[in-house]
Amino acid sequence: MAFSRAEAYAPASVANLGVGFDILGMALEGMGDRAIVEFQDSPEIVITDIQGDGGKLPRDPGLNVASVSARALLDQVGEKRGLKMKLIKGLPLASGLGSSAASAVVAVVALNKLLDEPFARQDLLPFCLEGEALVSGYHADNVAPSLLGGIILVAGITVDAIQFLPIPDELHLALATPAVQVPTNGAREILPKQISLKTMIHQSGAVAQLVDALHRGDLKALGAAMEKDKVIEPARAFLMPMLDEVRARAKQAGAISVFIGGAGPTLCAVCDRQSVAEATVSAMKSVYSEVGMRCDARSVRVDRRGAIVLDAR
């Protein structure tokens, strides 16, 4: 069946989950990007419109993650036609919520539908990575969950490095995104280049505990493991305003742990039920409002679907 227009949605995601730097990511419900793609006879990709980015994203198709990802897929299948692409950003930029990954994924999933689905969902990963690499390097820890949903272990950038991890039934998250920007690449540059063997052993043990806790559905153990990071959070903490205070107040409200979403500044609190997640959202918000800082906060659950096609005709 031939389509001339397709629309897709890709969810937000948070990478790292504390101690799982560059190897763990989780898709989030209720927030995401949309893209609409249409064939055009001329071979180039034209970004006709971007909504919701405050004019900040590049309209140049060679510089925008959505069009670069779509280009990789067009080239792979040898499609001669070009695209008109419209992007509707539901995710804030440079927030730690996987905004660039969602844009890369949503464009590729929409285009794959337009092409009548030459690729199975997971096999779209390499194309999405081409776009994501523009802003974050070749990392699949946001792209894979945004594409596939769930909590994902990505021990590499190939499809066979992807493993779905169990999603504890009770897992709820409280998210707070203060109005400060943390560029992903800048946040990477401040990390230590070398770490001690002793620290590596510590991090390995904590990652092992985290994965084990997910399998056992033990949220307390999960939260404890997440917060054991001695490498990434200590280096980045100074970029996260009010981190200690948010963590303390979230826990007073009943949250189990708080970790930095990706490169931040979004802070994510692990909660074991909806009521606690809502109380934690209020607690986190109030920390920022007390210092006069704007903050978007909400409670969410894990997105289990990943990216979806909304419409094709």
Chain residues in the site for a copy of itself (CB under 8 A): 19-24, 153-156, 161, 163, 165, 191-197, 199-212, 215, 221, 231
- Which of residues 75 and 212 has its CB atom nearest to a copy of itself in the complex? 212
Residue 17 and residue 222: Cα distance in Å, rounded?
A: 10
- Which of residues 49 and 212 has its CB atom nearest to a copy of itself in the complex? 212
Give Cα separations from 274 to 158, 169, 251, 260 (angstroms). Answer: 35, 12, 15, 20
- Which of residues 88 and 161 has its CB atom nearest to a copy of itself in the complex? 161
Cα 299 to the chain's mean position, in Å?
16
- Shortest Å distance, C-beta 16 to a copy of itself: 11
Sheet architecture: strand order including 257-260: 257-260, 267-271, 172-178, 295-300
Catalytic member of 7, 132, 177, 280: 132
Residue 276 and residue 210: Cα distance in Å, rounded?
A: 21
C-beta of residue 250 within 8 angstroms of C-beta of residue 279: no
Residue 149 and residue 138: Cα distance in Å, rounded?
A: 19
To 10 degrees, the CA torsion angle through 111, 115, 120, 122?
Answer: -20
Torsion sign over Cα 159, 161, 166, 172: negative
Question: Among residues 115, 150, 112, which one has the least CA distance to residue 128?
Answer: 112
Residue 114 and residue 313: Cα distance in Å, rounded?
A: 8
- Which of residues 88 and 191 has its CB atom nearest to a copy of itself in the complex? 191
- Shortest Å distance, C-beta 301 to a copy of itself: 22
Beta bridge partners of 153: 24, 163
- Which of residues 28 and 157 has its CB atom nearest to a copy of itself in the complex? 157
Angle (CA) 122 267 300, round 5°: 60
Catalytic member of 184, 233, 266, 280: 184
158 flagged as catalytic:
no
79 flagged as catalytic:
no
C-beta of residue 47 within 8 angstroms of C-beta of residue 85: yes
- Shortest Å distance, C-beta 200 to a copy of itself: 5
- Which of residues 179 and 195 has its CB atom nearest to a copy of itself in the complex? 195
Active-site residue list:
132, 184
